Amino acid sequence: MEIQKVGVVGAGQMGSGIAHVFSLAGYDVLLNDVSADNLDKAQALISANLDRQVSRDKITESQKNDALGRITTTLKLPDLGQSDLVIEAATERETIKTAIFEDLQPHLLPHTILTSNTSSISITRLASRTDRPEKFMGFHFMNPVPIMQLVELIRGIATDAQTFDACLKVVEKLGKTSATAEDFPAFIVNRILMPMINEAIYTLYEGVGSVKSIDTSMKLGANHPMGPLELADFIGLDTCLAIMNVLHDGLADTKYRPCPLLTKYVEAGWLGRKTDRGFYDYRGDVPVPTR
């Protein structure tokens, strides 16, 4: 079965990036979200990112226009029922994801493959709430999607070989590289990355360094492209906290305890770049550390 129609649920930073790379690779994309405003913002972001690729001679103007022409949006989740592949990229909360799959289920074609871009939540558990656990997988893109080469592929306990192979082929067609992870909390990338970010927040919380000194240390001392606090703001502090909670609950080890300062920022609604404030304040011309 050839995958051609792709449904993407959630038009935030990941859903819009996913729609961008699929449309550029020639797939027809139907993008869904709960708000029309989110869909408008996603289309504007995709268009701006495609423009940047044109200006850097990565793609032509006509590739950009073709890609934009292949993306349609809808507020109605059942419209995604005709897709060959669905990628769920809504907020990192299990109740939200489960409800999406349950609502979508009656409208699906028998062959539709369901996937989640979750950063941490059990694929086996999400799959078990659907009528097709054998056609369910983790399809985990990295942020920013148009730039990052990796896609983590995660099999649930019941995922069959055909589904896995179909997703592998899609990753190849996107021009990306896959790594396979077993289905345990936060898989590979976030099992390693998120405790480092959490530790950077503890380093700040305990006064070992300021936001600036922590980020400068890791950029210039460990050659990371972004400091850990800058990266946390880029990912979204709500998503970072959700991942740490999944690690803490799922592995029952105190080494994954989310830093109380991370919780405080999330409770304040200071979620990073997406709300214009996190460990940095982005409301001016240059980001200013908030601590």
Ligand X SMILES: NC(=O)C1=CN([C@@H]2O[C@H](COP(=O)(O)OP(=O)(O)OC[C@H]3O[C@@H](n4cnc5c(N)ncnc54)[C@H](OP(=O)(O)O)[C@@H]3O)[C@@H](O)[C@H]2O)C=CC1
* Residues at the interface with ligand CAA (CB under 6 A): 49, 52, 56, 58, 119, 142-144, 146-148, 189-190, 193, 225-226, 231, 235, 239
Active site residue 49: no
Distance of CA 276 to the CA centre of its chain: 19
CA distance readout (Å), 151 to 15, 167, 191: 14, 10, 15
Cβ distance to ligand CAA smaller for residue 108 or 214: 214
- CB of residue 148 to ligand X, shortest distance in Å: 9
- CB of residue 185 to ligand X, shortest distance in Å: 13
**Residue closest to 226 by CA, chosen among 162, 160, 280:** 280
The one catalytic residue in 32, 117, 119, 178 is 119
Active site residue 152: yes
DSSP 224-265: -SS-HHHHHHHH-HHHHHHHHHHHHHHH--GGGPPPHHHHHH
Q: Tell which one of 3, 21, 22, 33 touches ligand X (CB under 6 A).
A: 33
The one catalytic residue in 32, 190, 198, 230 is 190
**Residue closest to 288 by CA, chosen among 212, 200, 207:** 212
- CB of residue 222 to ligand CAA, shortest distance in Å: 13
- Peptide bond before 144: cis, by omega within 30 degrees of 0? yes
Active site residue 119: yes
CA–CA separation, 58 vs 51, rounded Å? Answer: 10
**Residue closest to 6 by CA, chosen among 177, 166, 176, 182:** 166
The one catalytic residue in 83, 152, 178, 230 is 152
Active site residue 122: no
The one of ligand X, ligand CAA, none whose footprint includes residue 218, by CB under 5 to 8 A per kind, is none
Active-site positions read 119, 140, 152, 190
Contacts with ligand X, residue ranges (CB under 6 A):
9-15, 32-35, 38, 89-92, 96, 100, 117-119, 141-143, 235-236, 239, 274
